[in-house]
Amino acid sequence: MSNQSVQTVSTTGDKLKVVLAVVALIAGVVGFFVLTGKPTPVRAAALVVGLLISAGIAYTSATGRDFLNFAKESVRETKKVVWPTHKEARQITLIVFAFVVVMAIFLWGTDKILEFVLYDLILGWKK
């Protein structure tokens, strides 16, 4: 007898919740643009309410909770990154610029040599 775990991808209810969340988000954005004649705080409130309702509906689904966990883990991983100091960032940037200049000169020189060999020596086309 096999002892494999079976994972349900998502239920119909979860899919419906995600669709409703997207509809609520779209309704908030549409409300923001429909209320063009109203003051900016009213328009912003329509957008924020649509976003909050959408987030609330999405959070009740398994997909929404998984996304929230993913976002929390992403923030946690970002805090583990060792960011370069200002001096290191400047040095790395200068190295990249120097490499780009050297490569540009190399490619230009290669192009001119190939142009000379092809047009002047092989084809005999003088400029």
- pLDDT tens track for 18-64: 889 999 999 999 999 999 889 999 999 999 999 999 989 888 888 88
pLDDT greater than 90 at residue 68: no
- pLDDT tens track for 20-33: 999 999 999 999 99
Give percent of the chain above pLDDT 70: 91
- pLDDT tens track for 77-103: 999 999 899 999 999 999 999 999 999
Euclidean distance between the first and final Cα of the chain, in Å? 81
CA distance 29 to 54: 11
